[in-house]
A = this chain, B = another copy of it.
């Protein structure tokens, strides 16, 4: 079979880790006689530098034509602390999510046995943690109207949600819960926000269609506590864009390494896969970045293409590299392997 894959390496360590994921995909292609056509595309700081636009039209076209998208990372410090910057790299990613309608971001959080000792949390609190976070990705305050008064004295951001936006991701989350432990936790701030109250109302309504799923609610401040106090209590978490951003990053530390967390952003006609870690500018070009999250993103991409056997093989190769300590310095201080060497190992093992 032939598959078109858009590759957006992005900024910082994005290109290095994405290259390793491509090696894994190549190995899979060889083995199973698939053909992957990769089309590279620009987004982020590198796109601003090259074209002035964090998301060139061409990138959208390439993504729309692709069967799936593999993305690296975005962001560069030279844009972060310049409040007057006219364009920001992150805008590229936000616009891509919006243009492709990638409304559902899924982030699995698991405690890997091999990494559990590295977690900042005590072992007994986290053994067995297995959470699937469903974060709404194309609404809320991320995409509300932004305004700065002419005299620069007052800034504002609008946050809004419609029943339709809430419903489509809620159904996906309930279905996910059905295939897991049948528990869904809605994280909101319904004691303060009107949008949260609409979430709570809509999700409560939809819950009636899933009588086998137990639904509960947590205010986001309490959720931020519970995630640390007792992460095992969670099965599927459903939440809006900004709360999802914060809670899922917080949850990413539980497992002992953010270098292993992949995520999927799903729309009606498209899907994008990326590691959770950022562009990590300090590590760029040093061959020290951990490529495993990017490789696991490629595994998620394979699953999306219904290539489950292939995906399982990639995941097994990652576990093997953990087992044998064939890992980068963040996981293996004594005897670290380079980014590229780890990629080679995974491809060989496949």
Contacts and interface: CB of A to CB of B under 8 A. Distances in A.
Given A90-B191, A147-B194, A258 B158 contact: no
A252 B227 CA distance: 12
A157 B194 contact: yes
A160 interface: yes
Contacts of A192: 90, 94, 141-142
A120 B111 CA distance: 15
Interface in A137-171: 141-142, 144, 146-148, 152-164
A198 interface: yes
A330 to B, nearest CB: 12
Contacts of A195: 155-157
A222 interface: yes
A189 to B, nearest CB: 7
7 contacts: A83-B198, A83-B204, A120-B122, A121-B122, A147-B194, A224-B247, A224-B250
A80 interface: yes
Interface in A94-122: 94, 120-122
Contact of A155 (B197, B220, B227, B230): B197
Nearest to A151: B163
Shortest 5 CB-CB distances between A and B: which pairs?
A156-B160, A155-B198, A83-B201, A224-B250, A221-B249
B198 A148 contact: yes
Given A90-B191, A120-B125, A191-B80, A222 B249 contact: yes
Interface residues of A, number: 65
Contacts of A189: 242, 245
Nearest to A200: B83
Nearest to A250: B224
A194 to B, nearest CB: 4
Given A148-B197, A156-B195, 11 more contacts: A81-B200, A120-B122, A154-B160, A154-B162, A155-B161, A156-B160, A189-B245, A220-B246, A221-B250, A224-B224, A225-B252
A127 interface: no
A228 interface: yes
Interface string A4-30: 000000000000000000000000000
Contacts of A258: 225
Nearest to A84: B201
A122 B121 CA distance: 6
A204 B84 CA distance: 12
A245 B228 contact: no
A60 interface: no
A75 interface: yes
A253 interface: yes
A193 interface: yes
Given A154-B160, A156-B159, A161-B154, A221 B245 contact: yes
Nearest to A75: B191
